[in-house]
């Protein structure tokens, strides 16, 4: 039984006037940028309209319904494909005195139905994003655009095994797609993100098969997928850098997701080393090639190699970059895009699965949330505000003090929860305060913060059972009405400086 009736919600849906939030540690710099975010498959719907191609998430949700907790799909989602006006309205209201940008992703198969540009583009799909970008700018909201948020064209999966392909075809297909996007939208888009959380694509999509395309290969495929994603990212960066940067004057980078990993016993060297290994396998897997050496972290090369040896595997499960590729990888992000939600406690652990080595066992580190930390509606998401500060300091120290944009941070509630989302207000308050401490006390170069999510949406394998939005969405109403929650008022009041900042 839902806790709120729709009628009750409408009557309580007004914004309370924002008052400037006072932080104990002072204020955010005037130049700090605030945004909110979504992704194409999670909000757009219109899955087969106007010539859009099928994506791996369309296929996955249609064929493997049992993998989605409520058996749902993103077929209609928030219907954003037909409701640009409603989206602009709520972003604009949120803008108030703070929110200056909106991060969203482009659906590759909506723009290029088969994924390969020579097969042709889909003009209505191209126009949809043209309209969205124009409307945002007309309302003083800067677009921050993610080029890939997990919805690969199914045709690329069918023909080439998607990101598993090591022949270079997938890298070229992505490079052509991004080139087209820079050419088409780059006059107005000044902030590009190549990939959202490649870790999730590799591990959940091609490792343990919990996400599309549901390919199970936990000891090899997982590494191959990551390998072609890193090469594709580097290509996209160089295309932008060499051809468009000078005239379009934007920036381009990548968004990585990382939990903070706290050693279970902070005085035990083995625990500390295990947590460092865990960071190397999660963040370092992508960040080391892109922000540091051009290659994978030593500990990954070492551990994967040793474990292959144990199993008498003579080929490289962790593919090797050539010297030329390492050079191409290095320094290919103008900023460090960080998605962060939670933390884990880590202990060293060593086990040898019968089926063969896996990405998980290769790490020799195991982790989980702590039962004493306040939970959320997502089994994996515990509220650990201090974790974000530790993580920001670690990124600063490990990757040469990069400019950091927090491109996602947020918390879930249950489907039955309503507008009084105090849990989310508190989560944002506490996490944002820790971000401020990292800026003021630890001199971390954080330039922007993005709240996930603009509105409740399709939460991947959890369907609609978890709500992450600042706005409540009525998924049984064909209009998909969006109503601000308490957290929307709170978030709107944050910056206080009145400065309109572009990322
Ligand atoms: C993803 C989002 C997702 C959110 C909450 C992030 O990993 O980028 O698409 O909805 O986490 O799970």
In angstroms, rounded to a whole number, what is the distance separating the alpha carbons of residues 404 and 445?
Answer: 6
Res 423: pLDDT: 98
Residues serving a catalytic function are 408
Q: Could you give the percent of the chain with pLDDT greater than 70?
A: 93
Atom of ligand 1 nearest to the CA of 197: 8
Confidence of residue 98 (pLDDT cuts 50, 70, 90): low
Confidence of residue 351 (pLDDT cuts 50, 70, 90): very high
Which element (helix H / strand E) includes 40?
A: helix 40-43
- 178: Cβ below 6 Å to ligand 1? no
* Residue in 499, 500, 467, 350 with CA at minimum distance from that of residue 4: 467
Helix axes 385-398, 422-440, angle to 10 degrees: 30
Question: Stretch 426-453: mean pLDDT, rounded?
Answer: 95
- 39: Cβ below 6 Å to ligand 1? yes
Segments making up each domain of the chain, as ranges = 22-261+382-497
Confidence of residue 8 (pLDDT cuts 50, 70, 90): very low
Res 26: pLDDT: 76
Computed over every residue of the chain, the mean pLDDT equals 93
At the topology level of CATH, where does 22-261+382-497 sit? TIM Barrel (3.20.20)
In angstroms, rounded to a whole number, what is the distance separating the alpha carbons of residues 61 and 39?
Answer: 16
Question: Stretch 397-413: mean pLDDT, rounded?
Answer: 98
* Residues near 267 by beta carbon (within 8 Å), at least 6 away in sequence: none
- 450 alpha carbon – ligand 1 mean position (Å): 12
In angstroms, rounded to a whole number, what is the distance separating the alpha carbons of residues 201 and 73?
Answer: 18
Tens of pLDDT along 105-158? 999 999 999 999 999 999 999 999 999 999 999 999 999 999 999 999 999 999
Res 9: pLDDT: 41
Confidence of residue 442 (pLDDT cuts 50, 70, 90): very high
- 167 alpha carbon – ligand 1 mean position (Å): 30
- 257: Cβ below 6 Å to ligand 1? yes
**Best substitution site from 339, 411, 463 to test ligand 1's pocket, by max atoms within 8 Å of Cβ?**
339
Return the residue whose CA atom lies nearest to atom 3 of ligand 1.
459
The SS3 assignment for 276 reads helix
Token readout for 217 is 């290969």
Of the CA atoms within 13 Å of residue 477, those in its CB half-sphere come to 11
Mode of pairing for the β-strands spanning 101-105 and 33-37 = parallel
Atom of ligand 1 nearest to the CA of 378: 12
**Best substitution site from 408, 410, 427, 473 to test ligand 1's pocket, by max atoms within 8 Å of Cβ?**
408
Res 5: pLDDT: 40
Return the residue whose CA atom lies nearest to atom 5 of ligand 1.
459
* Residues near 239 by beta carbon (within 8 Å), at least 6 away in sequence: 175, 178, 179, 182
- 451 alpha carbon – ligand 1 mean position (Å): 11
The SS3 assignment for 124 reads helix
Q: Percentage helix, strand, coil, to 5, in the chain?
A: 40, 15, 45
Q: What is the DSSP letter of 407?
A: E
Task: Give the residue carrying structure tokens 């290969």.
Answer: 217
Return the residue whose CA atom lies nearest to atom 10 of ligand 1.
459
CA 249 to chain centre: 24
Asked if pLDDT for residue 498 goes beyond 60, the answer is no
Atom of ligand 1 nearest to the CA of 341: 11
- 441 alpha carbon – ligand 1 mean position (Å): 29
Res 303: pLDDT: 98
- 210 alpha carbon – ligand 1 mean position (Å): 14
- 334: Cβ below 6 Å to ligand 1? no
- 182 alpha carbon – ligand 1 mean position (Å): 25
Confidence of residue 30 (pLDDT cuts 50, 70, 90): confident
The SS3 assignment for 237 reads helix
**Best substitution site from 406, 452, 458, 468 to test ligand 1's pocket, by max atoms within 8 Å of Cβ?**
452
Lowest mean pLDDT among 3-12, 38-47, 381-390, 462-471: 3-12
Please state the pTM of the whole predicted model. Answer: 0.95
Of the CA atoms within 13 Å of residue 90, those in its CB half-sphere come to 28
Task: Give the residue carrying structure tokens 């051009």.
Answer: 294
CB–CB of 373/291 below 8 Å? no
- 196: Cβ below 6 Å to ligand 1? yes
* Residues near 435 by beta carbon (within 8 Å), at least 6 away in sequence: 388, 389, 392, 406, 446, 449
* Residues near 404 by beta carbon (within 8 Å), at least 6 away in sequence: 335, 336, 337, 338, 392, 395, 396, 444, 445, 446, 447
Which 3-state string (H, E, C) describes 359-372? Answer: HHHHCCEEEECCCC
Q: What is the DSSP string of 157-188?
A: HHHH-GGG--SSHHHHHHHHHHHHHHHHHTTT
Confidence of residue 2 (pLDDT cuts 50, 70, 90): very low
* Residue in 433, 409, 402, 399 with CA at minimum distance from that of residue 342: 409
- 197: Cβ below 6 Å to ligand 1? yes
The residue among 92 and 460 whose pLDDT is bigger is 460
- 129 alpha carbon – ligand 1 mean position (Å): 21
- 468: Cβ below 6 Å to ligand 1? yes
Return the residue whose CA atom lies nearest to atom 12 of ligand 1.
459
In angstroms, rounded to a whole number, what is the distance separating the alpha carbons of residues 469 and 146?
Answer: 19
């Amino acid at each position: 039984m839902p806790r709120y009736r729709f009628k009750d919600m409408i009557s309580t849906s007004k914004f309370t006037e924002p008052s400037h939030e006072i932080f104990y540690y002072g204020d955010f710099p005037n130049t700090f940028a605030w945004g909110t975010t979504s992704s194409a498959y999670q909000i757009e719907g219109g899955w087969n309209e106007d010539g859009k191609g099928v994506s791996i998430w369309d296929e996955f949700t249609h064929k493997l319904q049992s993998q989605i907790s409520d058996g749902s799909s993103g077929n209609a989602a928030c219907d954003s494909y037909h409701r640009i006006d409603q989206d602009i309205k709520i972003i604009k209201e949120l803008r108030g005195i703070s929110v200056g940008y909106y991060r969203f992703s482009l659906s590759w198969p909506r723009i290029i139905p088969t994924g390969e540009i020579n097969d042709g583009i889909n003009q209505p799909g191209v126009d949809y994003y043209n309209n969205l970008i124009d409307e945002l700018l007309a309302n003083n909201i800067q677009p921050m655009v993610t080029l890939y948020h997990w919805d690969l064209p199914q045709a690329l999966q069918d023909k080439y095994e998607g990101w598993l392909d090591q022949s270079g075809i997938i890298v070229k297909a992505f490079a052509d797609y991004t080139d087209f996007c820079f050419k088409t939208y780059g006059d107005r888009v000044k902030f590009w993100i190549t990939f959202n959380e490649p870790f999730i694509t590799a591990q959940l999509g091609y490792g343990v098969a919990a996400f599309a395309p549901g390919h199970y290969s936990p000891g090899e495929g997982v590494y191959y997928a990551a390998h072609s994603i890193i090469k594709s990212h580097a290509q996209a960066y160089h295309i932008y850098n060499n051809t468009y940067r000078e005239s379009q004057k934007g920036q381009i980078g990548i968004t990585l997701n990382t939990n903070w990993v706290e050693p279970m016993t902070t005085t035990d060297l083995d625990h500390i080393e295990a947590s460092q290994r865990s960071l190397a396998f999660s963040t370092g897997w992508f960040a080391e090639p892109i922000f540091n050496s051009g290659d994978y972290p030593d500990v990954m090369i070492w551990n994967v190699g040793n474990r292959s040896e144990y199993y008498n595997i003579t080929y490289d499960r962790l593919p090797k970059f050539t010297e030329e590729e390492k050079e191409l990888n290095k320094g290919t992000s103008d900023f460090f895009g960080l998605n962060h939600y939670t933390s884990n406690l880590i202990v060293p652990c060593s086990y040898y699965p019968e089926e063969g080595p896996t990405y998980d066992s290769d790490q020799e580190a195991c982790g989980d949330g702590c039962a004493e930390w306040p939970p959320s509606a997502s089994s994996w998401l515990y509220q650990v505000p201090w974790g974000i500060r530790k993580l920001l300091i670690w990124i600063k120290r490990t990757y040469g003090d990069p400019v950091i944009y927090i491109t996602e941070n947020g918390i879930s509630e249950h489907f039955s929860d309503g507008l009084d989302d105090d849990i989310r207000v508190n989560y944002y308050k506490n996490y944002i305060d820790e971000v401020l401490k990292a800026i003021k006390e630890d001199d971390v170069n954080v330039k922007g913060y993005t709240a996930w999510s603009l509105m409740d949406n399709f939460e991947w394998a959890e369907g609609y059972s978890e709500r992450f939005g600042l706005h409540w969405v009525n998924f049984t109403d064909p209009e998909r009405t969006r109503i601000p929650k308490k957290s929307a008022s709170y978030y709107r009041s944050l910056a206080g400086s009145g400065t309109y900042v572009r990322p």
